[in-house]
């Protein structure tokens, strides 16, 4: 299984988050391949979102970004599905890493 993440996945994540949360709300995006508890392949998408600049509530952002990324990954023929993490500045350095 290829455990690398190409730059297009970072762009895919940023584009989805900016489309849902607003361009000024998305500060950082990170993507790491992994597996869920059933060993199915996933991508951990971590987003540093500034809630003061977000156009929607964080719960709505999480749901809609998940749906957008799931659809985008499926359209790319990816077997992995997204796992979304919305983090604040205090938790950003604790995000899932390879």
CA gyration radius, the chain: 13
- Residue 68, domain extent: 7-94
Instruction: Judge whether 89 lies within some domain.
Output: yes
Instruction: Judge whether 2 lies within some domain.
Output: no
CATH number of the domain bearing residue 68: 3.30.300.20
Report whether 20 contacts 68 (CB < 8 A).
Answer: yes
Among 82, 83, 50, 62, CA closest to 20: 62
Among 66, 63, 64, 10, CA closest to 33: 10
Instruction: Judge whether 58 lies within some domain.
Output: yes
Report whether 54 contacts 21 (CB < 8 A).
Answer: yes
Per residue of the chain (98 residues), what is the pLDDT tens digit? 446 688 999 999 999 999 999 999 999 999 999 999 999 999 999 999 999 999 999 999 999 999 999 999 999 999 999 999 999 888 898 887 75
Instruction: Judge whether 34 lies within some domain.
Output: yes
Instruction: Judge whether 1 lies within some domain.
Output: no
The tally of domains found in the chain comes to: 1
Report whether 27 contacts 46 (CB < 8 A).
Answer: no
pTM equals 0.89
């Amino acid at each position: 299984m290829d455990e690398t993440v190409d730059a297009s996945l970072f762009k895919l994540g940023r584009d989805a988050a900016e489309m849902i949360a607003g361009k000024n709300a998305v500060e950082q995006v990170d993507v790491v391949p992994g597996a869920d508890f059933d060993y199915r392949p996933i991508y951990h998408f971590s987003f540093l979102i500034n809630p003061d600049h977000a156009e929607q509530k964080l719960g709505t952002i999480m749901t809609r970004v998940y749906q957008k990324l799931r659809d985008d990954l499926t359209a790319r023929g990816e077997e992995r599905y997204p796992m979304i993490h919305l983090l604040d500045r205090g938790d950003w350095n604790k995000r899932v890493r390879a």
